[in-house]
Chain A
Amino acid sequence: MIDVAFLDATVRTLLGGVPLTLSLTAGSVALGGVLAALAAWGRLSGIVPLDWIARLYIFVFRGTPLLVQIFLIYYGLGQFRPVLQAWGLWTFFREPYWCALLALALNTGAYTAEIFRGAVLSVPYGALVAGRACGMPRLLLFRRITLPLATRQALPAYGNEVISVVKATSLASTITLMEITGLAQKLIAQSFRALEVFVCAGAFYLALTFVIIGLLRLAEAWLSPDLRPRPAARPA
């Protein structure tokens, strides 16, 4: 009943899409992280225009489907081709890879900004006051107190966001990028064996998800030294 040869061929084909899925994920998580940090800073800066720009960015990119954002950047910007060519940006927006990366980064950046903002706000006020009382300047206070505590707080929600980026990279297949879902769709259309291909492709995504969950657990343990068991008393 189970066609091992077909499954084997499917897995081999889909394996070819893994590097693209990973590179889209890594690229958009990195760029999205920068955008999120900027937007979170804008929201927390107390400077009204910056606050509103960040609010607008988050509202628009969280309120519209990612697929619309991808199409808007990849197909939509083609409407302004002469302008983009004059600015020398066309080589960038011509490539589906960069368009997908940009759309994914802008999208995850908006969600991540709110995670970062919440995490910074969760830092206990007393800890900041204590730091200030020791005479820490603002940057040192941020580096030694706010950043480690906020990072620990943001980690679980941030992990969920990274996992949803892995899944979101599948939309890149709609603009001709042959990552795992793109290859799976092609295989299904050729063989009409939807279930087998789905199971194989799904297994790849689940495996990626589990790897990310594992890495997050490690990071969480590393950032929570207060929860570790006490080191054994050293012999005197």
Chain B
Amino acid sequence: MSAFTLLGFGPGGWGGALLVAAGTTLGLALCGFLLGAVLGGLAASAKLSGLLPLRALAEGYTTLLRGVPDLLVIYLMYFGGSAALGVVGGWFGAEGFIGVPAFGVGVVALGVISGAYQAEVFRGAYLALDRGQIEAARAVGMHRGLILRRVVAPLVARDALPGLGNVWQILLKDSALVSVTGLVELLRQAQVGAGSTRQPFTFYLAAGALYLAITSLSTWGFSRAEAHARRGIR
């Protein structure tokens, strides 16, 4: 069977399965990115707050998660998650091993990892904020919540965009690591195809090409978004 029929969409072709798996990869990365944005935002505000314990906690979180291999974090979530579920299940009388949903594990792991990186991006963008903007907002009588919503959030989002683009690219490639939990995302699907057809090179090359397509599209999308966000600045 030639590589084209093998990777095509006809009978015996793996094209459809690979595309669906690429969708799973995208969904996984997107959910992880959103969770990471929440965690990153919280960690950044903790770091910027005056409260020492909060600051120390956030500092520990970002240092640890940025210094430890992502694969190790995924193993922790995967095995630790089922162990924790087993304990909780034990309280309710369940016995034995409880498997955790692999997609959920992947999202939590990617979210926790990318949150540490996003925290630094948000913090940097907040520190780059022009104080005069906030003073001006206060001078026209805006209260804190309104300043946050109308002045701080849009400006921070604009300055954070390039950094967030980098985090997204890293996250997209990290999502391949979730394949170790058995979740059928792009790399795992390629593994399955490689195993059953004994053509590993063809399948990994196809997976690589799909990843390349996704990252290239992301690069293009982020540069468009950056141009749009900076349209008011010359």
Q: Which residues in A have some Cβ–Cβ distance to B below 8 Å?
A: 59-60, 63-69, 71-72, 75-80, 163, 167-171, 173-174, 181, 184-185, 188-189, 192-195, 198, 201-202, 205-206, 209
Q: How far is the CB of B8 from chain A (nearest CB, A)?
A: 19
* Contact yes or no, B76 A68, CB < 8 A: no
* Of the residues A64, A66, A194, contact of B76 by C-beta under 8 Å: A194
Beta-carbon contact of B199 and A194 below 8 Å: no
Q: Which residue of chain A has the shortest Cβ distance to B215 in the bound complex?
A: A63
Interface contact B201-A80, CB-CB below 8 Å? yes
- Known A198-B72, A198-B80: A67·B176 in contact at CB below 8 Å: yes
The reply to whether B71 and A181 form a contact with Cβ atoms under 8 Å apart is: yes
Task: Name A's interface SS.
Answer: helix
Q: Does B180 contact A (CB under 8 A)?
A: yes
Chain A positions within 8 Å of B83 at CB level: 192-194
Residues of A within 8 A of B67 (CB): 163, 167, 202, 205-206, 209
- Given A64-B173, A71-B191, A202-B68: A79 touches B201 (CB 8 Å cut-off): yes
Measured CB to CB, the closest approach of chain B to A204, in angstroms, equals 9
A-B contact pairs, 30 of them (CB 8 A): A60-B208, A64-B208, A67-B179, A68-B187, A68-B211, A71-B190, A71-B200, A72-B204, A72-B205, A72-B208, A75-B194, A76-B205, A77-B201, A79-B198, A163-B67, A167-B67, A167-B69, A167-B70, A170-B72, A171-B71, A188-B75, A192-B83, A198-B76, A201-B72, A202-B64, A202-B67, A205-B67, A205-B72, A206-B63, A206-B68
Q: How far is the CB of B68 from chain A (nearest CB, A)?
A: 4
In this complex, the member of B75, B83, B174, B200 whose beta carbon has the largest number of chain A beta carbons within 10 angstroms is: B75
Least Cβ distance of A187 to chain B in Å? 10
The complex places the Cα of A65 from the Cα of B207 at a distance, in Å, of 10
A192 vs B75: C-alpha distance in the bound complex, in angstroms?
A: 11
- A69–B194 Cα gap in the complex (Å)? 14
Interface residues of B in 68-111 (CB under 8 A from A): 68-73, 75-76, 79-80, 83
7 further interface pairs, Cβ-Cβ under 8 Å (given A189-B79, A205-B68): A65-B211, A68-B176, A71-B200, A79-B202, A181-B69, A188-B79, A205-B69
* Least CB separation from B199: chain A residue: A79
CB-based contact A206/B64 at 8 Å: yes
The closest CB in chain A to the CB of B78 belongs to A194
* Interface pair A71/B204, CB less than 8 Å apart: yes
Q: Specify the chain A residue showing the minimal Cβ separation from B194.
A: A75
Pick the residue among B72, B179, B205 that contacts A202 (CB under 8 A). B72
Whole-angstrom distance from the CB of B128 to the nearest CB of chain A? 19
For the complex, what is the distance from the CA of A202 to the CA of B73, rounded to whole Å?
9
Nearest B residue to A207 via CB reads B67
- Of A59, A76, A193, the residue contacting B201 (CB under 8 A) is A76
Q: Are A67 and B187 in contact (CB under 8 A)?
A: yes
Closest to B174 in A: A65
| B192 interface hit (Cβ, 8 Å) | no
B75:A181 contact, CB within 8 angstroms: yes
Q: Complex formed: what's the CA distance from A67 to B180 in Å?
A: 10
Pairs of residues from A and B, 10 with the lowest C-beta to C-beta distance, nearest first: A194-B80, A170-B69, A76-B201, A65-B176, A65-B173, A79-B201, A194-B79, A72-B204, A75-B200, A167-B69
Count A-B contacts at CB 8 Å: 121
Across-interface contacts of B216 in A (CB, < 8 A) = 63
**Most-contacted residue by chain A among B69, B71, B172 (CB, 10 A):** B69
B212 CB contacts on chain A under 8 angstroms: 59-60, 63-64
Residues in A with CB closer than 8 Å to B173 are 64-66
**Residue in B72, B175, B199, B202 whose beta carbon sits within 8 Å of that of A181 in the complex:** B72
Complex Cα distance, B168 from A77, in Å, reads 30
- In the bound complex, residues from chain B placing their C-beta under 8 Å from that of A192 are 79, 83
Across the interface, do B72 and A184 meet the contact criterion of CB distance under 8 Å? yes
Decide yes or no: A69 and B208 within 8 Å by CB, A78-B200, A192-B79 being known contacts: yes
Interchain nearest-CB distance for A161 vs B (Å): 13
Contacts of B176 in A (CB 8 A): 65, 67-68
Asked whether A63 and B79 contact (CB < 8 A) given A76-B204, A76-B205, A79-B201, the answer is no
Query: What's the least CB distance linking B214 to chain A, in Å?
Result: 9
Nearest residue in A to B180 (C-beta to C-beta)?
A174
A201 to nearest B CB, angstroms? 6
A76-B200, A206-B67 known; A194 vs B75 contact (CB < 8 Å): yes
